[in-house]
Amino acid sequence: MDALLIQVLNGLDKGAAYALIALGLTLIFGTLGVVNFAHGALFMIGAFCAVTMQRILNISTSVIDETQTDFLGNPLKIETPVIQNWFGPEMGAAIQDWSVPLSVILVVPVMFFVGYAMERGLIKHFYKRPHADQILVTFGLAIVIGELIKAFYGANPIQTPAPAALSGTIDFGTWFGFEAGAVLYPAWRLVYFLFAGAVIAAVFAFLQFTTFGMVVRAGMADRETVGLLGIDIDKRFTLMFGLAAAVAGLAGMMYTPILSPHYNIGMDFLVLSFVVVVVGGMGSLPGAVLAGFMLGILQSFASMNEVKAIIPGIDQIIIYLVAIIILLTRPRGLMGRKGVMED
């Protein structure tokens, strides 16, 4: 029983990442009708915002202290991070420690701007072109963004640790009445799951309970009529693109302590999140979230040793296998609507 609980928990954080990316993809597809192959790149930009934040917080001033020498006999250089000069050593160190969650102040505006610029600068011109062209141009953009990241940050993964307070493990089992030590779970993964849940809830609430969200939903259902009512729906859809980019960026930012970001991380996640979107059903927001968590948890079950003993390597193919089975039995995915992307 506790083994099962561990697998469910292990699947949650990965599932949460899939769900967040798939949610953004579906938002873009549902509003603008564009298949965005560059969405993984947005995830990656978010992750590298966290890296940048870490570097900003570590900018130091160095003072040469003539009275002390290092082991080579040269005068000792004392580096003090600027942030510690401003807030005092303890507060400054705490801020540095919390650099990943603090990146949120960088991620949200940056991602929103990137999304906005991407839609206005590039994707706007592709509404009337076939879906294949949209796939291709965003695929090209994803290559370009990935390579730019590689040029600036190098090809190696960059460590971005979680805050010390959250980098331990939680004895999760004791909460549910198992013996101590049976279900150990990294704290940050739980944080990630809760964070993802909060973001997903916020997006749904925003669409459901605000006037802006209501107009957007109306536009998703019938763009032309909303336009005829004198509402500038294009502007709102552009903002939704920015929102979707911000969601992807947040997902990437919070994932950095789990997986050190490198320039290919976007592509790795993109392929899987596309499978997630298609399994959930193109254009269905709940479907995307459901399929994200479902595939994440399935993958974690498939990587259990007991399962792998029966079918070796099933953990690497399970997602694709499930996608194939679902697409063949339920052509439009789990919760897809009729007539979406079938031309």
Query: How far out from the chain centre does Cα 70 lie?
Result: 43
Q: Which is nearer to another protein, 35 or 100 (CB)?
A: 35
Q: Where are the beta strands (DSSP E) in 160-286?
A: 169-171, 184-186
Considering the complex, what minimum distance in angstroms separates the CB of residue 150 from another protein?
A: 8
Residue of 135, 184, 218, 334 interacting with another protein (CB under 8 A)? 135
Q: Which of 219, 222, 217 is nearest to 233 (CA)?
A: 219
Strand, helix or coil at 333?
coil
Considering the complex, what minimum distance in angstroms separates the CB of residue 112 from another protein?
A: 23
Distance of alpha carbon 268 from alpha carbon 262, whole angstroms: 10
**Residue 158: both structure tokens together:** 């960059």
Per-residue string for binding with another protein, 32-51, x by CB under 8 A?
Answer: ---x----------------
Q: Which is nearer to another protein, 181 or 331 (CB)?
A: 331
Choose the stretch contacting another protein; rule: CB under 8 A; options: 77-85, 132-140, 161-169, 206-214: 132-140
Distance of alpha carbon 183 from alpha carbon 176, whole angstroms: 10
From residue 97, alpha-carbon distances to 62, 74, 165, 196, 259 in Å are 20, 30, 9, 21, 17
Strand, helix or coil at 198?
helix
Residue of 73, 177, 230, 312 interacting with another protein (CB under 8 A)? 312
From residue 152, alpha-carbon distances to 51, 111, 155 in Å are 12, 18, 9
From residue 66, alpha-carbon distances to 60, 75, 77 in Å are 19, 5, 9
Per-residue string for binding with another protein, 106-125, x by CB under 8 A?
Answer: ----------------x--x
| Residue 212, number of CB atoms within 10 A of its CB | 13
Q: Which is nearer to another protein, 10 or 138 (CB)?
A: 138
Considering the complex, what minimum distance in angstroms separates the CB of residue 137 from another protein?
A: 4
Q: Which is nearer to another protein, 247 or 270 (CB)?
A: 270
Query: Does position 313 bind another protein by CB under 8 A?
Result: yes
What is the total count of residues that contact another protein (CB under 8 A)?
42
Residue of 3, 76, 105, 321 interacting with another protein (CB under 8 A)? 321
3-state SS record for 265-279? HHHHHHHHHHHHHHH
Per-residue string for binding with another protein, 142-161, x by CB under 8 A?
Answer: xxx-xxx-xx----------
Considering the complex, what minimum distance in angstroms separates the CB of residue 303 from another protein?
A: 13
Q: Which of residues 210-269 bind another protein (CB under 8 A)?
A: 267
Q: Which of residues 267-296 bind another protein (CB under 8 A)?
A: 267, 271, 274-275, 278, 282
Strand, helix or coil at 331?
coil
Residue of 82, 158, 239, 327 interacting with another protein (CB under 8 A)? 327
**Residue 42: both structure tokens together:** 């947005």
Considering the complex, what minimum distance in angstroms separates the CB of residue 315 from another protein?
A: 9
Q: Which is nearer to another protein, 22 or 170 (CB)?
A: 22
Cα angle value 137/140/141 (rounded, 5°)? 90
Distance of alpha carbon 188 from alpha carbon 196, whole angstroms: 12
Residues binding another protein (CB under 8 A): 35, 122, 125, 129, 131-133, 135-137, 139-144, 146-148, 150-151, 267, 271, 274-275, 278, 282, 311-313, 316-317, 320-321, 323-324, 327-328, 331, 341-343
